[in-house]
Structure 1
Amino acid sequence: MNRDPRIDAYIARAVPFAQPMLTRLRDALHAAASLDETIKWGMPAFTYKGAQVANIAGFKAHVTCNFWRRDAVGEAAPEVVANEKAAMGQFGRMTCLADIPDDKTIAAIVTRAIAKIDAGATTPRPAKRTKPEIAMPDDFAAALTANSGARTHFDAFPPGARRDYLEWITDAKRADTRARRIEQAVQWIAEGKRHNWQYVSC
């Protein structure tokens, strides 16, 4: 096991509520097995024999823990699977220490992941799901056209980023809500921000 000082710094920079949660997850992962630490994609990562086992991340309003071997979750924590869509990672959006699974649950998943790594099993790739296209609403298109910078940024976004904005706007139930979302979207897009820019990690 090694303790990477970059992870110490990452936790120290996190918002106050997230610091004890990140520390708790870090300690639980190390208690489960002899894992090495590093930073990947700007987040604390935990590896075994060079293979990724898990990463943790602190955000403005929640903390996540993501196990790379989803097939290792198995029966170790059936309640985890139900929360998977709530946020990145199998535990959903954790906002307090009570949301973090106990050491036994985490250890069971880590043990399964390590066994699969030792057996030489490759990490299964999740099947790609094709989402239906969302048509560009006329009112949103007009607002983008009225702001050349926003239109340029929006067209340069990858498909997923464009879809995030389209879903947000078309999901509005009221006309005034939709208008406010369009106004806010154009402002963010003109600044080159994607819809979920405020949820970037600490």
Structure 2
Amino acid sequence: MNPKVDEFLEKSAKWQEELKRLRNIVLACGLTEELKWGQPCYTFNNTNVILLGGFKDYCFISFLKGVLLHDSENILQKPGENTQSGRIISFTEIQKINDLTPTLKAYIYEAIEVEKAGLKVVSVSKAELVFPDELLQKFKSDSAFKVAFEALTPGRQRAYNIYFTGAKSSKARASRIESYTERIMNGKGFNDCICGLSKRLPNCDGSHKYIT
């Protein structure tokens, strides 16, 4: 076990027991545990295979090449409409994790076999949504951010993309992406309320301006 992941889990305000259970299942399959991009990450021969994380409404196990798994139980989910490679299984209670333990192990072992075979995901370009290089680099360097972004609705992804690409320089685009990283990690859209005072939820109506 990686002490950095121990610390991460102890500080987790939500889904702590569920994430600990998922961690034990993954480790039992022989993967190497690391902490990458602020999330527990599990690798095989230095290749990222599994990511664990949690949002407000659920925690999840993410198979980074999940699209290549057979998914015999039909439980893998696309975290976002435009997701091509990753697939997740979400949980809101530990009992579901316990019930699915044998299946989860089978899927993890299959994911390891995918890496052993050197299988690659063939990307399909989507002309309607072209991301700037700075956002693609962010996806590459931060898998947790990529999972969170792809979990957004297509409309929310498009709104962020318009805002990011609207900056004229690469430095400005990168700055905009960093400024909105926390909001995206929390599953919020560009125009979503984050103070909870809006009368037009989930949209922001400017009520935060009157907080005293």
Q: TM-score by structure 2 length? A: 0.58
| 1:164 matches 2:189 | yes
Which whole-Å CA distance do the structure 1 matches of 2:61 and 2:25 have between them? 11
- Relative contact order (C-alpha < 8 Å, sep 6+): which is higher? 1
Q: Which residue of 1 aligns with 2:62?
A: 66
The 1:71/1:58 distance shift into structure 2, 3 A limit, reads closer
Which whole-Å CA distance do the structure 2 matches of 1:90 and 1:4 have between them? 23
Equivalent pair of 1:37/1:47 in contact (CA under 8 Å): yes
Backbone CA RMSD of aligned residues: 3.8
C-alpha deviation, 1:125, in angstroms: 4.1
The 1:34/1:180 distance shift into structure 2, 3 A limit, reads closer
Q: 1:114 pairs with 112, 115, 121, which one?
A: 112
Give secondary structure in 2 for the equivalent of 1:157.
Answer: helix
Q: Relative to total residues, which structure has the larger helix share, 1 or 2?
A: 1
Give secondary structure in 1 for the equivalent of 2:23.
Answer: helix
C-alpha deviation, 1:58, in angstroms: 3.6
Which whole-Å CA distance do the structure 2 matches of 1:85 and 1:59 have between them? 14
Q: TM-score by structure 1 length? A: 0.60
Which whole-Å CA distance do the structure 2 matches of 1:179 and 1:123 have between them? 35
The 1:186/1:117 distance shift into structure 2, 3 A limit, reads farther
Which whole-Å CA distance do the structure 1 matches of 2:123 and 2:209 have between them? 35
Gaps of 5+ in 1: 135-152, 170-174, 189-202
Q: Which residue of 1 aligns with 2:7?
A: 9
One-letter amino acid of the structure 1 residue matched with residue 93 of structure 2: C
Larger Rg: 1
Q: Which residue of 2 aligns with 1:200?
A: none
Q: Which residue of 1 aligns with 2:21?
A: 24
The 1:53/1:179 distance shift into structure 2, 3 A limit, reads closer
Which whole-Å CA distance do the structure 2 matches of 1:67 and 1:9 have between them? 23
Which whole-Å CA distance do the structure 1 matches of 2:55 and 2:69 have between them? 23
One-letter amino acid of the structure 1 residue matched with residue 100 of structure 2: D
**Identity level (%):** 20
Which whole-Å CA distance do the structure 1 matches of 2:202 and 2:9 have between them? 39
Q: How many residues get paired?
A: 154
Equivalent pair of 2:76/2:87 in contact (CA under 8 Å): no
The 1:182/1:46 distance shift into structure 2, 3 A limit, reads same
C-alpha deviation, 1:176, in angstroms: 4.9
Give secondary structure in 2 for the equivalent of 1:120.
Answer: coil
